Amino acid sequence: MPRKPAHAQFDALKAIREQAFVLFGRFGYEGVSIGDIARATKLSKGALYWHFENKEKLYLDCLLRLHAIFNEYIFDPMRGQTDGVARHLTLFTGLGRLLLDPRVTRGVGGYWMIPSRPETAHILKAQRAFEAACVDTMKETLRLGVVQGRFDYKDDLDEMARAIIALVEAVVLPLRHQGADEVHRILGVLARSLFRAYATADDLLKLTRSL
């Protein structure tokens, strides 16, 4: 069988990645088969296996794309800030922008439903590494706010960092079933609660009015 032109291969790969990203985001690893993706892309299973050796590799490709979206909107901008208050604000403003991205609003909860099996061990490893990096970024953000005298988290830095990352996940997971306005109201409440509970200066409390 003659090899397809490069543009046709590119179009097929793009369709596979886009449809797989949506389907895995909605239904999780176990809820999607190669056949489901083939039907969604109107391609043969053989065409999918031409680009991805198996479902695990296709799922990992999609999961890493989701990680890149989170880094693009939230964690990379946070890491680029040297001011503790700015880093705190970037968490919430970045999350607000992420919530408007159509790749996310269609639902990504399925990426938190990874079964623990030998064939998915590398997928779980990638997810745990990403989550650990997010927690480390959040811990550094909280620590910076304390060192600069803008927040007082007592001795709760580790627990607080993990709690905030868990709240970020809790905001994102139900996106398919909540409107953008509702989610942004919830996000604003979380941001104001954090600042009011731990900010050490009156000028920071004023910032809560814009959150």
Specify the pLDDT at position 19: 96
Rounded to an integer, what distance in angstroms lies between the CA atom of residue 2 and that of residue 124? 38
For residue 191, pLDDT beyond 60:
yes
Per-residue pLDDT tens over the stretch 89-124: 999 999 989 988 999 988 999 999 999 999 999 999
Q: Which of 14-18, 104-108, 162-166, 189-193 has the lowest mean pLDDT?
A: 189-193
Q: Assess whether pLDDT exceeds 50 at residue 196.
A: yes
Cα pseudo-dihedral 182, 63, 164, 207, rounded to 10 = -60
Highest mean pLDDT (candidates 135-139, 150-154, 193-197): 135-139
Residue 205 pLDDT level (bands cut at 50, 70, 90): low
Give the percent of the chain with pLDDT over 90.
Answer: 65
Domain boundaries, the chain: 56-210
pLDDT at residue 2 in the model: 44
Helix-helix angle 121-147:55-70, to 10 degrees: 10
pLDDT given for residue 7 in this prediction: 47
For 56-210, CATH number out of 3.40.50.10800, 3.40.50.2300, 1.10.357.10, 1.20.210.10 equals: 1.10.357.10
CA–CA gap between residue 163 and residue 29 (Å, rounded): 26
The pLDDT value given to residue 70: 97
Distance, in Å, from the CA atom of 47 to the CA atom of 65, rounded to the nearest integer, reads 21
The pLDDT value recorded for residue 6 is 46
